[in-house]
Amino acid sequence: MTKLLLRLAVNAIAIFVAANVLPGIAVKGGDVGTYLILAIIFGLVNALVKPIVSALSCPLVLVTLGLFVLVVNGMMLMLTASFSDGRLIVEGWGTAILGGIVMGLVNVVLEAILGLNRKDD
């Protein structure tokens, strides 16, 4: 349960960083609760939709030597924005792909710092 809450916080921080770094991503009502709601939506989209999209796009990932994964991540961010009821605004595919990259980098760094990547549990 602790790891789940930590991952939720990491996703909320990643959305915060992406919204503050990229001009095409905005969060309406930028309080902590809004970021946590967005993190929950993003986590659900990644858990439920991303495996299906990843499996269907596997040939494209292979042909592009893995670069299509960036498009899939951007797609998940756009889907999160569409489910967020106007809380998250992402202006276009380019911004979504860049947002996915920024969020991925933040996730990698914070998960390494917090030790969420360890398999010792």
Q: Which of 116, 118, 99 is nearest to 18 (CA)?
A: 99
User: With contact defined as beta carbons under 8 Å apart, do 76 and 50 qualify?
Assistant: yes
Identify the pLDDT of residue 120: 62
Tell me the per-residue pLDDT of 72-89, one tens digit each, with 9 for 90 and over.
999 999 999 999 999 999
Residue 40: burial class (beta carbons within 10 Å; 0-12, 13-18, 19+): middle
Q: Which two tokens stand for residue 66?
A: 């893995």
Secondary structure element (H or E) that encloses residue 37, with its range:
helix 32-48
* Nearest-angstrom CA–CA distance, 21 and 18: 5
The overall pTM is greater than 0.85: yes
pLDDT at 44 over 80: yes
Identify the pLDDT of residue 121: 52
pLDDT at 24 over 80: yes
pLDDT at 14 over 80: yes
Where are the domains positioned within the chain?
Answer: 2-114
What residue ranges in the chain does DSSP mark as E strands? 25-27, 88-90
Identify the pLDDT of residue 48: 96
Categorize the per-residue pLDDT at 49 as very low, low, confident or very high, splitting at 50, 70 and 90.
Answer: very high
